[in-house]
Structure formats: C-alpha cells, structure tokens
Structure 1
Amino acid sequence: MDSILVTGNGPLNGQIPIAGAKNACLTLMPATLLSEDPLTLTNAPRLSDIKTMTALLQSLGAEVSSLQDGQVIAMSSHNLTSQTADYDIVRKMRASNLVLGPLLARFGQAVVSLPGGCAIGARPMDLHVEGLEALGAEIELKDGYLHAKAPGGLKGAVHEMRFASVGATENIVMAATLAKGTTVLKNAAREPEIVDLVECLRKMGAQIAGEGTSTIEIQGVDRLHGATHQVVTDRIELGTYMLAPAICGGEIELLGGRMSLVESFAAKLDAAGVSVEETDKGLKVARKNGRVTAVDVVTEPFPGFPTDLQAQMMALMCTAEGTSVLEERIFENRFMHAPELVRMGAQIEVHGGTATVTGVECLKGAPVMATDLRASVSLILAGLAAEGETTVSRVYHLDRGYEHVVRKLEGVGAKIERIKGE
C-alpha cells in the first residue's frame, strides 16, 4: 500500500493549478442519463472517484470515453441496458446515489444500492427519498437496495427539505427536469456545485430558476438534449492549497481560483493573519507576518465554512498562536484526523462534535495514518510544517479527491514523495 513521505522544508513559493471540482463532476456525470443525446464535460479532474462513476454509468449501458488525458469526458446514454446500480460499485462512493433521480425521471423506474464512501458518519438517503416521493415516486427499501418506480411518470410538486442536503438537492433537481408540471424545492442547498449542475442542465434544455438560493423552481420539459459543459473549479482543492503557504510561509498563486467560491473560508484566513488577494489568474495567498492567530470555526452549509476544509484548517490551527475551537455541524465522526495530529505533537481535545486546539510552536514529524479523504491531506499539510519526516499511510483516500498532489506541492518547493507499497 502506497504512502507519502513529507519533510518540513520551509516556505513554499510559486503557482499551483486548481483542477475541476470532484463533487461537481460526480454530479454532472449522472446528468447524461437524462437524455439520449451526448453530454461532454471539459475541465474534468483526474481522480479515482471519476473512474468509479465511469464504471457505474457503463454498468448501466452508457458509453463513457476519457479524452485529452482525462480532462474531457464524453458520454452518451442513448442505449441504456439497465436501471440497476449494483452494490459492488455503489459501495465505493456515496455520489453513486445520484443516478437514482435521473433513472427514475427518464425510465419511470430505478433500483439503486445504498451507497458507501468515506467513514465520516451516517449520511442517510431519507432526504433523497422524501423529495422523490413528493414528486410521485413509490420507493421501497429491500435487501439494501432502493426500489423506485413512477408508473405514470413524475409530477411537479412543492417540497421543503428538512435539511439543505447537497446530494438530495441534486437528485431532486435532476428528477424534476423531466417531471410533468412545476416543482418548487424549498430549503435547497446553495453550493457552487449545484449552480454548476443547473447551468449544465439549462444547456441541455431544462427550465430552472433560483439556483444559488434556498428556493429552486423547475419547470418540467418533455426531453433534454445534448450539451458541452466546463466543470467549475474545485473550491475544496483551492482551499486546501490556500492553506499551504498559511502553514509553511511563502506566497502561492492558485491558478483558476475565484474568491466567490471560498469567501467564508478566506474570511477566516484573513482573521488568522493570512492575506488572500484576487489576481487576473486566480488567488494569491501569503501569511501577513509571522505566526498565524487562532480562530474559531463552525462548519455550515454553503456559504458557511465548508466541512470539507475542517480537517485542513485544524492542521493550521495546530501551530497557531492561542486556542481555537472547531465545531463540526455537518457530519458526526469527522475528527478522526485529530489523534494522528496529536502523534505529531499537536494539542487537541475532542468532545463530541467539538475540537479544542491549543497551538504549539512546532509540530514533529511522525508516522501517521489517513482515515478519510480530507484527513489525508490535512496530515500532509501538517507534515509540511513539521520538523523532520512525516510518513502518511493509507493514501488511497487521497487519490479520490486530489490529482497529482505530490507534483503540485513539489512545484512550489515542498519536499514530498510518494512511496510505492509492496
């Protein structure tokens, strides 16, 4: 099993290109199931999760081709052979559940396994099911599979979600594009990935308004056609690499970055003593002067502080001046990186959904183990700022969400290498 060896090596300087968003691409790919015509995505990230979604779509009979070194994905669902998403594929990645809405909308039936993914707490399907049932679907859970049908087709409705779930919003919006009549989705999630999905669906002929707000209105159409769409910049990769000069010193320009994607995160960095400036190429990030200052963080749905940047922010707070409190309100069990950071000399106390971090002068390199995608990169960031060598094991998590992480960090002066396992 591969590991990553990181040696603390001082300030980082240069440019890092930011890839297309993993979470956006994984949402856009199932949209091909809504139409017989081709859907082409550009600026696609080259990640293992994209390969998993490709395998899932192909198992349904879709044609999926990876072009231009994986940065273009060409898809066609003109001749699907199945409406069943099997456990063997779905268990690998939670985003697999996003085939449910499109299959149900186009074919009036779908059988989808309950999903898997990172071990960061329960992420149930009930919000997805409630929304689709509001559109007239009949859904039954049998033997670990959701059996959904809509014999007369889906019908528009007014539905308010109990929680602004990103995945449920995406599934319901996709399903509603082919429903009869108008759907009004209230308490919808507002993430940039949803705005990106709606822009793509609109190119395919969908009639949707209100994306980026808490109320989305969808006027159903008879059919959708093909389109070409550029995947939005990955705000989580962007935020992750914004932390590299914050934790190590130096100045890095993140190519393709946009402030609108990370405003709440950038505000926290500013309060901690980190400068974030927009340039004509992206965002430029540097520490203002000396050691960063501790700040408190509460994770919230967009536009609040992203849960997917909480682990990385904790790594920064480990060397901040003062004590910070990080409260996780999105997922339970998402502080599994904390004990690994403690192995590096961090002072962290976890009580339920709250972690209290007292900054230390310097972290010490140590062997640590990644427990999930974002935890893995938080340990790499910590290793960049630590004295000595840090070996991060179980880095297969990393491949799910970050392309060429070693190459990108090497390019700005980091001392980092991937060690091939037995």
Structure 2
Amino acid sequence: MGKVLTIHGGVPLKGTVNVRGAKNLVPKAMVAALLGDSPSVLRNVPEIRDVEIVTSLLQIHGVTVEKDPETGDLTLDPRGATRAPSKEIDTHAGDSRIPILFCGPLIHSIGEAFIPDLGGCRIGDRPIDFHLNVLRAFGAVVDKRVEGIAISAPHGLKGAKLELPFPSVGATEQVLLSAVRAEGITELKNAAVEPEIMDLIAILQKMGAIIQVQTDRVIRIEGVPTLTSYNHMAVPDRNEAASWASAALVTEGDIFVAGARQPDLTAFLNIYRKIGGAFDVHDDGIRFYHTGKPLKPLVLETDVHPGFMTDWQQPLVVALTQAAGVSIVHETVYENRFGFTEALIRMGATIQLHRECLGSVPCRFGQRNFLHSAVITGPAPLVGRDIDIPDLRGGFSHLIAALAAEGTSNVTGIELIDRGYERFLDKLQGLGASVEISERG
C-alpha cells in the first residue's frame, strides 16, 4: 500500500508559500536539548517526518517533548533521560541517519549510546566512519554488534584535535555535540560552516557552550561541565526556498517564498539570475519568477558552503532541461546524486552522465567510476510519465518536472518528500497545481 500523486502538467505555479525551520537544523537542535539540565524551547519548527522521528527517539530515551498546538513550538525536557532498548531505537529510527548524532549527548547525559543500522537517501556512500572516528578521538569505545553499534566512554569524553578529510556537515555536528561538554579543548580543522552549522553553534552558545569559529574552517570548543537550556527560533529552510524558486522557473510561474533569506541563498541567487530567472528581495521573503524570456545554459559546480549547495542542484537541473543550449553540472559533494535524471530522460530530457570531472577543478570523485558530471541539452519538451521517487531532493525535482510536462504523471514514493518538505501537497494546491492523491492497492 502507498499513496499515488497524479499530476496534470502545464500549469504555471503562482502564489505564496511559507518556509519554516530548516530540515538540516531542527532535528539537530532537538538532539542538542539532551545536553542541557533544564527544558529548552525550539520555535519555527516545521511539520516534517524527520521531526517526528527525532521526537520519537527522544521520547524513548526519556525526554519529554511537548508541542504547542497553536504555534507548533517544541518544549524539550531532558531531565528524565535514560537508556532505550535497541529494538525500540531501530523501530523509531526508520530510514533516518539522525541517531548517530545522539551519541555524544547520550554519553554525556547517561554514559552510553546505541545506534542501529542507518538509512537515509540513496545519493552516495555517506559513511558513518567520520562519526565513529570522531567519537574514538574523544575517547569513546565503539563496539560493533550484529544489531548495531554500542558506544560508551568509561572515562568520559576528552577534548581532541581533529581534521576532517572533507568539510562534512554531519561530522562537524558530531564534533560540536560531543565537544561542548568534553573535558578540555577541542580543535576541528576543515569544518563545515553552513548556515545551519552556525545556527547550531548559536543554540549551543545559548546553553553555555564556549565555541569560536576561526578563519579557514577552524572551530575551537572549550568544554564545560554542564549546559543549561535554550530558547531559539530555527533558521529558515534555504533548501526548500531554493526548491520553490526552481519550481517557479520550470513551470514559468511566479512564487513568493515567505521566510526566504537573501544571505543564506547568495550563491543560489547568482546562478538563478545567470540562468535567466528573476527575483525580488523583500524583508519577509523573496519573490521568484520566470521573465517570459528563454532560459540560458550555464556551467555549474556544487560545493560546500559558501559554494552552490548540492541540495540546490537537482531542482535546478530540471530548469536547465528547458534552457536553450548546453549546460554542464559537476557534482562534487555526493558521488551518486544524478540517479534522479533517469526519470527526467524518460520524460524527454536530454541528459548525458559522465565519470570525468567536467568542471574547473578535478574533484575527489574523479577517476573513481562515479557518474558525477552531467551534460544537459535543451530546451527539451517534457511529457508525463509514471515515476517512483528515489530520494528527497530528487523526488521534489521529479514533481516540478511533472508539473511542467505535457500530460499526466503518476508519482509514487511521495512519503520521502514528507521528510523535508512541510505540507508540500497543500502548498502545491495553493499555488494552483492540478494534482490529486489516491491510495495504491
């Protein structure tokens, strides 16, 4: 059983959508509440699947999570934190990779942690080795078992000097959540510095942490024995904002994204303008719209912040299928992020994938047999097809391709989109999309 979304294409999306707290921040902020000695309050929380998963994981670990029925704000009380049965952790984790970030806070609060086999979107290797190596560097003992990984620290976590081989967001989060209450000083080189990372640092500082973000991706943390609580409004979701911006471009529409912030989208806005899209920045959001003129091809490379984010790439590729000429996209963050293009090709797009680095600088995936560069030729008329969604951002890309296509598309696997897009079906309908949902037998 599952849901089928039927999309009748050819209707420009017009209207307003509201984006709330970032998927890449809110679940981690919820985990951070475990580090405190009193209840924390998190505001601007979206209704997405990842929030439900973390709520369940916190609750089975004894954390009280209360949701304000009017505002949606969460109050998280960690004072009853305790060990959870491994089977329950496995059940509530689902396909999320969030459990790995529980390790440091759980070790600090109850002395041990357990994580099951981890899931997540199928867009690349995304190994947890970074995380386990970080925890070992802090003095944790990692015990790999059949049912998962047990982690403990008989002598407590100690500060460490660390350098990441790649500015991994997840590994940087692991260091922050582990180091703030570790004994001594931690120095992390080659850290990720995304806006969501900076917002997590702001949360931890509110709780009493001492964290310095230095030049050249160096973060220095002085451990403290205890932390208090936080009251924080989560940074808006720049990835969702960029997705709706691409939807306006692909469907030749006009969408005001309430909550979108220009400083968090600088690299995206530059590319959006180069491809021929238009935008107007307001205090409370950004209007994105198609000018009516042909879109322009371009050469694009994804990169860690402050570069062009990998999560922005997939929706924008759909827009590039409608640009007049040849575009090149070089993916340098996740090695398998072009799997979603198979459905676009079936819809009529002209896309060729290559193993070579078709960018200005060879990346770490070069000569490693990964199809990580794409050549896109347009404009290519798209036609409706039956589609099964492979991952979160790719899935949203399929939706906007179907919305622009001639004819009808039937889309399955839409539950994946619930992980990161709040009420996306309501938002589509509010923008005038011709869609209906049914149950698959």
Using structure 2 for the length normalisation, give the TM-score: 0.91
Q: Does 1:164 align with 2:183?
A: no
Partner of 1:209: 212
How many Å separate the matches in 2 of 1:118 and 1:13? 30
Deviation string 1:293-338 (CA, Å, 9 cap, x unpaired) is 1122222111112211222111111111111122222222222211
Q: Does 1:371 align with 2:371?
A: no
Q: Does 1:145 align with 2:164?
A: no
Q: Count matched residues.
A: 422
Shift of 1:101: 1.6
Shift of 1:416: 2.4
Partner of 1:317: 320
Partner of 1:46: 47
Deviation string 1:181-215 (CA, Å, 9 cap, x unpaired) is 22111111011111111111111111112189611
CA contact (8 A) 2:138 2:157 kept: yes
Structure 1 residues 221 and 83: alpha-carbon distance in aligned structure 2, compared to 1, 3 A threshold: farther
Shift of 1:140: 3.1
Partner of 1:120: 123
Shift of 1:69: 5.5
CA contact (8 A) 1:291 1:321 kept: yes
What SS does structure 1 have at the residue aligned with 2:65? strand
What SS does structure 1 have at the residue aligned with 2:133? helix
What SS does structure 2 have at the residue aligned with 1:2? strand
What SS does structure 2 have at the residue aligned with 1:326? strand
Q: Does 1:14 align with 2:15?
A: yes
Partner of 1:329: 332
Partner of 2:227: 224
| Aligned partner letter, 2:74 | I
Q: Structure 1, unaligned stretches of length 5 or more?
A: none
How many Å separate the matches in 1 of 2:379 and 2:211? 50
How many Å separate the matches in 1 of 2:267 and 2:85? 40
2:426 to 397, 407, 414: 407
How many Å separate the matches in 2 of 1:145 and 1:369? 30
Shift of 1:414: 2.1
CA contact (8 A) 1:106 1:178 kept: no
How many Å separate the matches in 2 of 1:250 and 1:338? 23
Partner of 1:76: 77
| Aligned partner letter, 1:146 | I
CA contact (8 A) 1:362 1:385 kept: no
Q: Spell out the pairing of 1:2-401 with structure 2 (5 A cutoff).
A: 2-68=3-69, 71-82=72-83, 86-143=89-146, 145-210=148-213, 214-351=217-354, 352-401=371-420
Quote the sequence identity (%): 35
| Aligned partner letter, 2:335 | E
What SS does structure 2 have at the residue aligned with 1:300? coil
CA contact (8 A) 2:348 2:380 kept: no
CA contact (8 A) 1:194 1:211 kept: no
Q: Does 1:417 align with 2:436?
A: yes
RMSD across aligned positions (CA)? 1.9
Shift of 1:158: 1.9
Answer with 2-11 or 255-264: which moved more: 2-11
What SS does structure 2 have at the residue aligned with 1:23? coil
Shift of 1:142: 2.6
CA contact (8 A) 2:245 2:288 kept: yes
| Aligned partner letter, 2:437 | R
Using structure 1 for the length normalisation, give the TM-score: 0.95
Structure 1 residues 46 and 79: alpha-carbon distance in aligned structure 2, compared to 1, 3 A threshold: same
CA contact (8 A) 1:94 1:117 kept: yes
